[in-house]
Amino acid sequence: MKTVITAETLFTPLEEIRNPVVIIEDERIAAVASRAALEIPTQARHLDFPGQIIVPGLIDVHIHGGSGYDVMQAGASALASIEQGMVRHGVTSYLPTTVTASWEQTLHSVDLLGQHIERPPAGHRSRALGIHLEGPFISHAKRGVHPPEHLLPPTPALLQNLHDAARHTVRMMTLAPEVNGAVDTIRHASGLGIRSSLGHSDADLANARAAVDAGALHATHTFNAMRPLDHREPGILGLVLSDDRLTADLIADGIHVAPEVVKVFLASKGLQRSLLITDAISATGMPNGQYQLGNFQVHVKDGRCEYQGRLAGSVLTLDGAVRNVMQFAALTLRHAIQLVTINPARLLGIAHERGAVVPGAVADLTILNPHSQVVGCMVAGTMEA
């Protein structure tokens, strides 16, 4: 049966359509146009959202958990709670993100996550597109809260072991370019279709450039866990902000990065190369208290997540990040939405499938009110009643 969705405005997001009609058939978008250009088919289910805004389903490429659960637990009930919580904030797809743990625990977690990704469960919940490995291939100097005893120098063989254990579902890897073996591992990752992202790094400019030359194409939570920018020794941040071969993401919660620096980031990278992430942990959507991140406990109070006095993820939601960046950098909603839809889809090489409301794409849609708050969400053509 066909489903028709109408509203006041649609951001595809690259185009604005007033009085839009979106026709959905077999979990895919069949047609998109204005009411003046497209007749609403008879005998179709019609969902009308007067005064509201249709945007693509949001995509989070860096999230550790939510609703009281960590993705590395990877149990059915844990993942269901995380994914149902994400849908309430308009996120229709995501990369479950690991944190450095023992080798055995990491292999076990990615195996369970790989099984989950291979056989996505039914129901109104966000869909895991692949695994993001954050660690163990990071710098001791900029490890943040990652346990130092479990960090490892990257090698193609170790990455292959992780990818095999994950049933070939690893889609992204954060690593420090200055660590021995990084360049060879980046080249191997490219051959596997894994996106290499620079992060948790104390790299100088030369090491960072060598990694990009080898195939790295993204940067993880820019400014956080990175060598600070110096005007004579720009280091990794100098390359991230200036090299157009790299896209980069940022945590726009007002805690990890000051609003003024968010403006600097967007001015440097531009709308086409900027992404927003949450880096959210199990505490997201929960009250103050102690929560799990990997295999350690994080203290959460008033939106700030800390472990031994250091920031340890966030409780940010992706729709909240959109509203924040609109405020911090005076972005329009259409421009802010690009940072959480088409841009992450392009990074992952799935822009033909997700991240845009265009014919042929999966029918992942988020409905916003005029205050940019989520009022509805469709996942693969299904919207919860």
Measure the CA–CA gap between 133 and 174, rounded to whole angstroms: 6
Going through 12-74 in order, the beta strands assigned E by DSSP cover: 16-18, 20-25, 28-34, 45-56, 58-63, 65-66, 69-70
**Helix H segments across the chain?**
76-87, 103-118, 156-165, 182-192, 205-214, 235-242, 259-269, 318-329, 333-338, 342-348
Q: Give the distance, in angstroms, between the CA of residue 298 and the centroid of all CA atoms in the same chain.
A: 21
CATH domain 58-348 topology: TIM Barrel (3.20.20)
- Measure Cα distances from 200 to 76, 99, 145, 287, 340 in Å: 30, 12, 10, 28, 22
For residue 42, the model assigns a pLDDT of: 83
Burial of 286 (0-12, 13-18, 19+ CB in 10 A): middle
**Structure token digits, residue 348:** 């992952």
What class has domain 3-55+361-383? mainly beta
For residue 21, the model assigns a pLDDT of: 97
Is 279 annotated as catalytic? Answer: yes
- Measure Cα distances from 315 to 11, 125, 290, 299, 312 in Å: 27, 19, 13, 12, 10
Measure the CA–CA gap between 323 and 178, rounded to whole angstroms: 35
Consecutive 10-residue averages of pLDDT for the chain (385 residues): 95 97 96 91 92 98 97 93 97 98 97 96 94 98 97 98 98 98 98 98 98 98 98 97 98 98 98 98 97 93 94 97 98 98 98 97 98 97 83
Q: Which residues of 174-210 are buried (b: 16+ CB within 10 A; e: fewer)?
A: bbbbbbebbbebbebbeeeebbbbbbbbbbbbebbbb
Measure the CA–CA gap between 98 and 135, rounded to whole angstroms: 7
Domain limits, the chain: 3-55+361-383, 58-348
Question: To which residue do tokens 């149990």 refer?
Answer: 75
Q: At CA 40, angle to CA 373 and CA 22, rounded to 5?
A: 35
**Structure token digits, residue 223:** 């400014």
β-pairing verdict for 289-293 and 170-175: unpaired
* Catalytic pick among 60, 70, 249, 279: 279
Nearest to 60 by CA among 311, 250, 266: 250
Nearest to 284 by CA among 297, 306, 300, 308: 300
Measure the CA–CA gap between 94 and 376, rounded to whole angstroms: 18
